[in-house]
Copies of this chain bind each other. A is one copy, B any other.
Amino acid sequence: MNNNVRLAEILTAVRNKTPLVHAITNYVTINDCANVLLSYGASPAMCESCDEVYDFARLASSLYINLGTLTKEQEQSVILAAESAKEHGIPVVLDPVACGAIPRKLEVIGRIHELGRIDVIKGNIGEIKFLAGLDSATRGVDSLDTGDGALEACRLVASKYGCVVAATGSEDYITDGTRSAVIKNGTELFTKITGAGCMTGALCAGAAGASEDRFLSTVSAILTMNVAGEEAAKKAAFPGSFRMNFIDSIYALDEGKLLKEGDVEWI
């Protein structure tokens, strides 16, 4: 069976398993992350109090940690949740939002890595290059990078943290250090709404909760995001209606559409 078929099957696996995704995420796009996970077929649970997360994480299929608006209480919670994930064998997907612009983020990532576990890091190209120790152009939470050298950056970060790494941009790069893929699908409209990056990370966590192969589950989730985005962009040219159609498209996407429209280069 070729890899493209396996990507499509992971979409179905999410829908069959309804993985419980424990998310600790930023307040800007927390609603978008919950809705995209529901449309994907997963069951989101945003549980973030430091009194709750250790015990709750053990119930989950996967843990999504997004460092966007990391409050002091969330800072404690993400460490505790990651420790619980390590203890109980739960895969962890990390979105290192603005790690280059805000030094505190890097410290927290270091502690998650040391005390807990990280199975997948999904960032924009600027964030991944920063984690790789490379220069990159950013503005606030957004990457202004053109993507040159992105795959090499992913490989460096994969080696450093021992996990799957994805760098998203006009093209998306994914590697586990050995296998790599480039996704050519997508739409410029993702840059006109907030939360495209966060929703991509949430889907990666959904897929990680339904498939043991973290590399393929990550490629499948990011491909799902981008093919659904293309479908939505056919129906809506402006950000407000695009956003609504995008959630519909995630829900309507099936294996056949993903196989037909997906444009993945395996490296």
B-contacting residues of A (Cβ < 8 Å)? Answer: 18, 20, 22, 26-32, 34-35, 38-39, 43-52, 55-56, 59-60, 68-73, 75, 98, 101-104, 139-142, 191-195, 238-241, 243-248, 251-252
Contacts and interface: CB of A to CB of B under 8 A. Distances in A.
A106 B227 CA distance: 43
A195 B192 CA distance: 19
Contact of A104 (B39, B48, B49, B103): B49
A242 to B, nearest CB: 9
A191 B32 CA distance: 15
A95 to B, nearest CB: 15
A249 B187 CA distance: 20
B240 A39 contact: yes
Contacts of A191: 38
A239 B240 CA distance: 14
A19 B204 CA distance: 31
Nearest to A244: B240
Nearest to A48: B69
A34 B68 CA distance: 13
A239 B253 CA distance: 13
Nearest to A72: B73
A130 to B, nearest CB: 15
A210 B71 CA distance: 29
Contact of A244 (B39, B68, B244): B244
B194 A38 contact: yes
Contact of A251 (B18, B52, B72, B192): B192
Nearest to A37: B194
B104 A51 contact: yes
Given A28-B30, A38-B191, A38-B192, 13 more contacts: A31-B31, A31-B194, A35-B243, A38-B193, A45-B98, A45-B141, A46-B69, A48-B69, A240-B243, A240-B246, A240-B248, A241-B245, A243-B244
A245 B70 CA distance: 31
A192 B27 contact: no
A26 B46 CA distance: 9
